[in-house]
């Protein structure tokens, strides 16, 4: 049964308020309409696109928390952070991130997302990557969303080090793994 435009827009607003990270494609599937219809509805309702919603939520929530680098220097969008414990970011792979010939993401983008998340999770003014051990477990292609999850394994104050593990996923499948040894100033 198709909903009226007004009813759909009310439900659309509630859905986005409940999950600001939902994509237009997911909304189109949920409401059995085209992506273009969702975009038109969002435009009429003055609801920004996903990227702007994520940015807005992250800036409001984490602006005062992240100390080691400005949020605009993080590769991907931080969606959750608990300093010196864990953090999560998302990164949408676009045409500028892939090889033109095969649409596979360039590895340095996946590394940059994980590395900047490992820096951001440090509760200190200065955090630098001292050493990294990385593993690419499968290719990521244009259009996929990479969710990176960082967790602090241990702090070594005597040597000014923090050890951070990062797993990156596409649809719950691990695509990248990194072990980062971070230099920091304990203040």
**For residue 161, what are the β-bridge partners?**
156, 183
Give the tokens for residue 63: 């602006």
Q: Is the pTM of this model over 0.75?
A: no
Q: How confident is the model over 99-111, as pLDDT tens digits? A: 999 999 999 999 9
* Residue at token pair 């759909």: 8
Quick one: which H or E segment has residue 165? strand 161-170
**What pLDDT sits at residue 78?**
85
Q: SS3 for 19?
A: coil
> 61 pLDDT exceeds 90?
no
φ and ψ at 74, to 5 degrees? -75, 135
Domain 66-184: CATH superfamily is Hotdog Thioesterase (3.10.129.10)
pLDDT band at 125 (very low <50, low <70, confident <90, very high): confident
Average pLDDT value for residue range 57-73:
59
pLDDT at 21 over 60: yes
- Cα separations (Å) of 63 from 56, 83, 128, 160, 180? 10, 13, 20, 25, 24
Distances (CA, A) of 131 to 48, 112, 180: 39, 14, 6
Nearest Cα neighbor of 143 from 112, 104, 113 is 104
pLDDT at 72: 64
Residue 12 tokens read as 């659309």
Please report, for the chain, the start and end positions of each structural domain, with discontinuous segments joined by +. Answer: 5-47, 66-184
Q: Which of 38-47, 52-61, 72-81, 92-101 bottoms out in mean pLDDT, i.e. has the lowest?
A: 52-61
Q: In sequence order, what are the beta bridge partners of 149?
A: 88, 167
> How confident is the model at residue 79, as a pLDDT?
82
Q: Angle of helix 35-44 relative to helix 24-31, nearest 10 degrees?
A: 100
Fold designation for 5-47? Arc Repressor Mutant, subunit A (1.10.10)
Nearest CA to 92 out of 102, 79, 82, 81 is that of: 79
């Amino acid at each position: 049964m198709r909903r009226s435009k007004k009813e759909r827009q009310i439900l659309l607003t509630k859905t986005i308020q409940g999950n600001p990270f939902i994509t237009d494609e997911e909304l189109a599937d949920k409401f059995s309409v085209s992506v273009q219809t969702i975009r038109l509805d969002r435009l009429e309702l003055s609801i920004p696109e996903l990227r702007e919603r994520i940015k807005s939520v992250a800036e409001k929530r984490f602006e005062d928390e992240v100390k080691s680098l400005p949020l605009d220097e993080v590769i991907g969008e931080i969606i959750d952070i608990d300093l010196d414990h864990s953090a999560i970011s998302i990164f949408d792979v676009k045409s500028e991130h892939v090889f033109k010939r095969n649409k596979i993401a360039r590895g340095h983008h996946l590394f940059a997302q994980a590395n900047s998340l490992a820096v951001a999770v440090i509760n200190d003014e200065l955090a630098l990557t001292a050493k990294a051990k990385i593993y690419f477990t499968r290719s990521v292609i244009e259009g996929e969303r990479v969710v990176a999850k960082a967790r602090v394994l241990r702090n070594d104050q005597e040597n000014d080090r923090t050890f951070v593990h990062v797993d990156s996923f596409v649809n719950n499948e691990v695509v990248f793994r990194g072990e980062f040894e971070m230099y920091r100033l304990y203040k």
